[in-house]
Amino acid sequence: MNKQQYNQSKEYFIKYISKLLTKRQIINKGFLMEIRNDLLIKGFVNGNNKSKFFLKFLQSDRNHNNINIKESLYSLETYTKKRENNKTSISLEEFF
């Protein structure tokens, strides 16, 4: 995943949650707002319970039938953590 794909996926998930929050039949809106805040602040969905909860909405949507939406969601975390590791790792040239 590159930076452009990461940004597109993240924005898509944020817009999707915002659309869910406007629906009256959604009961647990507070949990969805926490997930949206995680995406906005951390860049990924933090926590296994939040991921599973959000995946239930994504997987039940017929628009995601031909997409591996689970992989897209988890790749946000992988991309963010790899980027953080690259920033904190020191090369030998920088060390000496």
Amino acid 10: pLDDT = 94
Nearest partner of 58 among 35, 82, 81, judged by Cα: 35
pLDDT at 93 over 60: no
The model's pLDDT over 48-85, given as tens digits with 9 standing for 90+, comes to 999 999 999 999 999 888 889 989 999 999 998 888 87
Residues 6-22 pLDDT 10s = 999 999 999 999 999 99
The pLDDT, as a whole number, for residue 64 is 84
Spell out the long-range contacts of 11-19 with Cβ–Cβ below 8 A and sequence spacing 24 or more.
Answer: 13/39, 13/45, 13/54, 13/73, 13/76, 14/39, 14/40, 16/57, 16/58, 17/54
Q: Where are the domains of the chain?
A: 3-88
Q: Model pTM?
A: 0.83
Angle formed by the axes of helices 29-41 and 48-60, to 10°?
Answer: 110
Q: Does pLDDT of 91 surpass 70?
A: no
